[in-house]
Amino acid sequence: MTHEAGIPLGIRFKLLSDSPQDSAAQVVSEVVVGDHRDLDTLREFARGCDVITFDHEHVPTEHLRALEADGIPVRPGPDALVHAQDKGVMRAKLMAIGVPCPRHRIVSDARDVAAFAAEGDGFPVVLKTVRGGYDGKGVWVVDSVEEAAEPFRAGVPVLAEEKVDFVRELAANVVRSPHGQAVAYPVVESQQVDGVCDTVIAPAPGLDEELALKAEEMALGIAKELGVVGHLAVELFQTRDGRVLVNELAMRPHNSGHWSMDGAITSQFANHVRAVLDLPLGDPRPRARWTVMVNVLGGDYPDMYSAYLHCMARDPQLKIHMYGKDVKPGRKVGHVNTYGDDLDDVLERARHAAGYLRGTITE
């Protein structure tokens, strides 16, 4: 999707990919298949690149520092990206700059977890490995000291957090360029199912204007303080008492910003590309009253193409974005966007299409 956004600007991508079957590898013309954890591979790949960016956070921080030392611009840079790679570093930094977070502590065993619970409202407690988590992986909600043993088995440091009593989840997406220009997308509502993002509504319905502004300012502040270059997604909890707390950070175009491909004047992907190249940023404002994104998860049908017929015929305004991934149950294999003036209608159209593509709706 980043490549797609680069085409109109004549930006040529070279891709380092785990496999030739990767989504991006199917559409980018210059692909190097290799391991992003291997410094020699990265160095060889980086030769001749004007700038390096990412669609995930898993390149080791120290390798990025080595590339920078070689004189290759890395955007976002390792000093910023580490906050999206390591939840311990992220929490410490956010606290230091005064950003409200859930109560949390690095814990070293189940007894530690019990102590952390006792200091607050008791169990349940959320445990997260500080590195490597994704879409609910590496996250446990534990109800007792017995259950708390599991997360420590991987030997990775574990972060304990209070289970926030939230009304809903929000996301504030911002983009920042090297010379400090920044833009904020409208704050969206993000609905999760089984720990995986399912639906995003832009803008978040009924969100108090003051709270929306506060969330945007908070995201812009984090981007600035952390020296982010490119897209920053700040996942937020909206609490019952009208506050927002930071849940997670992502430093790349993010699922909570996919709506912008069809719903904003400039998409998150286009603005990420602009920021990485230090070009002036595009207008992030919405083009429609409501835009809804629903993820398409892998379901019963290995081939979703035949479902296009029904979905496109039923809704000529529907925007389908499939990633060319092998369909596996529960895997994010695409998303749909819809927009319009009537939120119920827009939601129904997006959910119907996503459900039909997955195979959970058959009429």
Tell which residue, 285, 240, 280, has the closest CA to residue 259. 285
Residue of 195, 265, 329, 345 interacting with a copy of itself (CB under 8 A): 265
Of 110-118, 143-151, 235-243, 273-281: span binding a copy of itself (CB under 8 A): 273-281
Is residue 118 involved in binding a copy of itself (CB under 8 A)? no
* Cα torsion angle, 358, 360, 362, 363, sign: negative
CB 42 within 8 Å of CB 63: yes
Name the token pair of 275: 């920021």
Tell me the C-alpha to C-alpha distance, in Å, between residue 313 and each of 308, 310, 316: 8, 5, 6
Please say which residue, 58 or 285, places its beta carbon nearer to a copy of itself.
Answer: 285
Is residue 266 involved in binding a copy of itself (CB under 8 A)? yes
Tell which residue, 57, 44, 31, has the closest CA to residue 254. 57
Residue of 103, 321, 331, 332 interacting with a copy of itself (CB under 8 A): 321
Of 124-132, 215-223, 316-324, 355-363: span binding a copy of itself (CB under 8 A): 316-324
Is residue 322 involved in binding a copy of itself (CB under 8 A)? yes
Name the token pair of 179: 């010379």
**From the CB of 285, what's the least distance to a copy of itself, in Å?**
9
Tell which residue, 288, 235, 297, 283, has the closest CA to residue 262. 288
Of 108-116, 185-193, 222-230, 309-317: span binding a copy of itself (CB under 8 A): 309-317
Going along 177-281, which residue ranges are E strands? 182-184, 188-193, 196-202, 230-239, 244-250
Is residue 91 involved in binding a copy of itself (CB under 8 A)? no
Is residue 320 involved in binding a copy of itself (CB under 8 A)? yes
Q: For binding to a copy of itself (CB under 8 A), which residues are involved?
A: 1, 3-4, 7-10, 12, 26-29, 31, 265-266, 274, 279-283, 287, 305, 308-309, 312-313, 316-324, 334
